[in-house]
Amino acid sequence: MSAVLRADGLRVELLDGRAVVDDVSIAVAPGEILGLVGESGSGKTTLALALLGYARPGCRIVAGSVEVAGALLTGMSETAARAHRGKVVSYVPQDPSSSLNPSLRVGEAVSDMWREHGAAGSGGDEIVLTAFSRVGLPGERLFARRFPHELSGGQQQRVTIAAAVVCEPAAVVMDEPTTGLDVVTQARILEEVERLRSERGVAIVYVSHDLAVVGSIATRVAVMHAGRIVEQGAAAQVISWPRHAYTRALVSAVPRRDTPRETTADIAGAPILQVEHLYAAHGRVAVVEDVSLEVTQGACLAVVGESGSGKTTIARCVAGLHAPSAGLIRLRGEPLAARARSRTREQRRRLQIVFQNPYDSLNPRRRIRDEIARPARVLRGLSLGEANVEVAELLDRVRLPSRLAERYPRELSGGERQRVAIARALAARPEILVCDEITSALDVSVQAAVLELLRELRSELGLSLLFVSHDLGVVAAVADHVLVLETGQVREAGPTTRVLSTPQDAYTRRLLEAAPRLPSEAETS
């Protein structure tokens, strides 16, 4: 079948002449999904927008062409191109919570699109309701009158998809449409995308950083690196037999949950952290109910669950940042006070936390040296000079060059920042590290490196870990034991290999089924 969306030799530059997208040629036929994979900064969003003949402020399309359903979008006037966007080719943005206008009802998001492009005056309301029911939303007037904040993340994303397809475009470009959604919701959105392809024959470009997601939905895959397409081919082939070195690195960086990890802590050590019948609430809403867990010396316990399962709240309670409403937390047998400030210095030193977002957890106005030296000074009473001597050692321990000590966080990449955050925790010489989703803001290859670092630190320092994550692959890669959490309650707990291979609880099974995996992995398990 001939391609309905075709880009040839596309080049997008910043105003200073640096290329963000360079020499990209792709073609997508009706009823085909092209998965566009790349890490952050690879230029995939810029390319996605360029496929609509659009360049963000500060960028220009300088060479090449984009043709959709016979219309040449590049070289067209902005007004003419706008008439095509949404009608022949449309866009589904990444974050529906910020892309839907919060002061417009969701029905208007769709009817606006229709009014802009559709035949005037022909049954607006009906069109909106049909568009909603087509993407699995209730096709009711009452629903169309709701505001975005009254919808869940998954429903919001369905609304943006409904708006994108209401004019029956020949091609749809989706930019990370399921990033930020939990796995179960993600699986449902992916079904919707698949239906769009099979039932309506839409040509779809699906942009994602997640190789497993792309592998589960795309017919063909294009791998993007530094603005160029380095490899392109049938999905199964690219993922199972990657030819380009970058693709191979990308595929091998994806943590797999069926590769059994050599367990380092089979010998049951002394319990270091015990949580007994923990209850916690946000205001009046209970988010953690009767959770008990135990981390033994040198072991890693993972707490797994979807967003809203209460896993981060548990981590915060343990770190003394959130006061539990009931229950007891013990460190080496001693009960801990609810607030970090009421704990002894020694207790605070022994237990350190690393946060989810490395772009947020380092003070932007402080040098790395300052940031790392601080816990050593506050919690171990070192002098400024002594602490500074340790900074170089700690940077080395997290595999960073010591010259980074004089830098500010903004000069570091996400992976480097997360290593600094880990070094800051290590500066206190802790016995247990609480890791709250520490890899979820990182690219897969960076994530793999951080997980590797954690493994090494555990064997070098005998650290115990309480590891909070939503990613089962990551959990399989680091944890000895798993605790599965749903709406604040423990569903299942046990050794990682047992829970992931033969889950006892229905919720665990659902979680496992919903998580997309690389095809080769799915075949072998």
Establish if 352 lies at the interface with other proteins (CB under 8 A): yes
Number of alpha carbons in the 13 Å side-chain half-sphere of residue 344: 8
Binding segment toward other proteins, per CB under 8 A, in 48-56, 75-83, 356-364, 456-464: 356-364
Partnered with residue 63 across adjacent β-strands are 11
Establish if 410 lies at the interface with other proteins (CB under 8 A): yes
Q: Which is nearer to other proteins, 38 or 414 (CB)?
A: 414
Establish if 188 lies at the interface with other proteins (CB under 8 A): no
Q: Which is nearer to other proteins, 279 or 359 (CB)?
A: 359
Q: Which is nearer to other proteins, 4 or 391 (CB)?
A: 391
Establish if 353 lies at the interface with other proteins (CB under 8 A): yes
Q: Which is nearer to other proteins, 153 or 358 (CB)?
A: 358
Q: Pick one of 54, 91, 246, 355: the residue that binds other proteins (CB under 8 A).
A: 355
DSSP β-ladder status, 59-68 and 89-92: unpaired
Q: Which run of H or E residues covers position 350?
A: helix 345-350
Q: Is 219 left (phi over 0), alpha (psi -120 to 50) or beta?
A: alpha
Query: How near is the Cβ of 428 to other proteins at its closest, in Å?
Result: 8
Closest Cα to residue 171, out of 74, 52, 340, 78?
A: 52
Establish if 284 lies at the interface with other proteins (CB under 8 A): no
Establish if 18 lies at the interface with other proteins (CB under 8 A): no
Q: Pick one of 66, 187, 304, 379: the residue that binds other proteins (CB under 8 A).
A: 379
Establish if 424 lies at the interface with other proteins (CB under 8 A): yes
Query: How near is the Cβ of 371 to other proteins at its closest, in Å?
Result: 8
Sketch the per residue contact string, 212 through 251, with other proteins: x for CB under 8 A, - otherwise: ----------------------------------------
Establish if 365 lies at the interface with other proteins (CB under 8 A): yes
Sketch the per residue contact string, 434 through 473, with other proteins: x for CB under 8 A, - otherwise: ----------------------------------------
The tokens describing 289, both together, are: 């109910």
Q: Pick one of 360, 406, 456, 513: the residue that binds other proteins (CB under 8 A).
A: 360
Which residue is listed with tokens 């060479």? Answer: 63
Cα–Cα dist 266/20, whole Å: 49
Cα–Cα dist 145/155, whole Å: 14
Query: How near is the Cβ of 148 to other proteins at its closest, in Å?
Result: 21
Question: Do the Cβ atoms of 313 and 275 come closer than 8 Å?
Answer: no
Query: How near is the Cβ of 375 to other proteins at its closest, in Å?
Result: 6
Q: Which is nearer to other proteins, 46 or 356 (CB)?
A: 356
Query: How near is the Cβ of 223 to other proteins at its closest, in Å?
Result: 23
Q: Which is nearer to other proteins, 417 or 491 (CB)?
A: 417
Establish if 94 lies at the interface with other proteins (CB under 8 A): no
Q: List, as one string, the DSSP characters of 403-455.
A: GGGGS-GGGS-HHHHHHHHHHHHHTT--SEEEEESTTTTS-HHHHHHHHHHHH
Q: Which run of H or E residues covers position 90?
A: strand 89-92
Establish if 433 lies at the interface with other proteins (CB under 8 A): no
Q: Pick one of 141, 345, 403, 498: the residue that binds other proteins (CB under 8 A).
A: 345
Cα–Cα dist 131/124, whole Å: 11
Query: How near is the Cβ of 412 to other proteins at its closest, in Å?
Result: 10
Closest Cα to residue 399, out of 387, 415, 383?
A: 415
Q: Pick one of 35, 64, 414, 516: the residue that binds other proteins (CB under 8 A).
A: 414
The tokens describing 443, both together, are: 């690219």
Closest Cα to residue 446, out of 94, 40, 133?
A: 40
Establish if 84 lies at the interface with other proteins (CB under 8 A): no
Binding segment toward other proteins, per CB under 8 A, in 58-66, 186-194, 349-357, 498-506: 349-357
Q: List, as one string, the DSSP characters of 153-178.
A: HHHHHHHHHHHHHTT--SEEEEESTT
Establish if 364 lies at the interface with other proteins (CB under 8 A): yes
Number of alpha carbons in the 13 Å side-chain half-sphere of residue 49: 15
Cα–Cα dist 38/24, whole Å: 14
Burial of 121 (0-12, 13-18, 19+ CB in 10 A): exposed
Query: How near is the Cβ of 409 to other proteins at its closest, in Å?
Result: 8
DSSP β-ladder status, 203-208 and 171-175: parallel
Query: How near is the Cβ of 101 to other proteins at its closest, in Å?
Result: 22
Strand, helix or coil at 382?
coil
Q: How many residues bind other proteins (CB under 8 A)?
A: 32
Chain residues binding other proteins by CB under 8 A are 319-321, 340-341, 343, 345, 348, 352-353, 355-357, 359-366, 371, 374-375, 378-379, 409-410, 414, 421, 424, 428
